[in-house]
Structure 1
Amino acid sequence: MRTWRSARPEFTPHLAFPSAIRTVAYSTNMVESINSRLRKATRNRGHFPSEQAALKVLYLAVREQINPKARDTNHVAAHWKEALNQFSLFFEDRLSIQ
């Protein structure tokens, strides 16, 4: 209880956001999944002839991870569209959607 009471002032403002934003904020599984995919992509290829080659491999790994057509299972960005809409309402001065 002591931990909850000490963290409550920091946690309570989090509840003011819509559920779409809260879902994305507390879910680290998406970030961990992308990091795992990037580590796997670089480890499987060993060394790269240039920085550009490494960036291309990382780009393709991220693209494959978030592309819903690339995988039949639930994709990583399942809730990002709704959350992005909510972020644009709350932080319109910081976020530009094009």
Structure 2
Amino acid sequence: RCIIHQIRNTLKYVNYKDRKELVNDLKKVYKAPNKDIAYSNLQDLKENKWTKYKLALESWEKHWETISPYFDYGDEVRKIMYTTNVIESLNRQYRKVTKNKTSFPNDDALLKILYLATIDATKRWTVRYRNWSKVLNELSIFFKEKITKYVYNS
């Protein structure tokens, strides 16, 4: 789950005329500085302002354990994590190259085709994120071994 998909799921239960205001109010949740404030803001929205859409906001509570690690990161990393579209695009590429194949002779054949699809997909990843150096520094704190291994081996 990502924030965008959680918002989309929430809006399924909301009248069209209320959507814009609710989305603006949800910013208090997903732009909160930490998970405690975010959860408090969510409860405030659910219990006070948007009581008529409790069911829609309960989805946030139901998936809170999945969503809450998002708040462990800073703003720059959150902007990247905000949506899972890149991952979904990569999965679509994998399905595209494997859908016509009913079986593979062995696991290595499947791994090779997925590897080649990954190489092909990454050629199209040309967008550079703003403040990437800040993002990389923050990620290196959370994933020290993996980031330093990649940076020093490339």
The answer to whether residue 95 in structure 2 is matched with residue 95 in structure 1 is no
Helix, strand or coil for the counterpart of 2:92?
A: helix
Structure 1 gaps of 5+ residues are none
SS at match of 2:116: helix
Question: Which residue in 2 is equivalent to 1:17?
Answer: 74
CA distance in 1, matches of 2:98, 2:89: 14
- Cα RMSD between the aligned structures? 3.3
1:14-93 alignment runs, 5 A limit: 14=71, 17-19=74-76, 21-67=77-123, 71=124, 75=125, 78-79=128-129, 82=132, 83-88=135-140, 90-93=141-144
Q: Point out the structure with the larger helix share.
A: 2
Q: Contact 1:66–1:77 (CA<8 Å) still a contact in 2? A: no
Pair 38,84 (structure 1): closer, same or farther in 2 beyond 3 Å:
farther
SS at match of 1:57: helix
Counterpart for residue 152 of structure 2: none
TM-score for both structures, normalised by structure 1: 0.64
Tell me which amino acid in the other structure corresponds to 1:57. I
Bigger Rg, which one? 2
Identity across the alignment (%): 29
- Contact kept in structure 1, 2:94 and 2:114, CA below 8 Å: yes
Query: What is the number of equivalent residue pairs in this alignment?
Result: 86
* TM-score, scaled to structure 2: 0.44
Paired residue type of 2:139: F
Residues 139 and 147 in structure 2, CA contact (< 8 A), matched pair in contact too: no
Structure 1 residue ranges (4+ consecutive) displaced by more than 3 angstroms after TM superposition: 76-79, 92-96
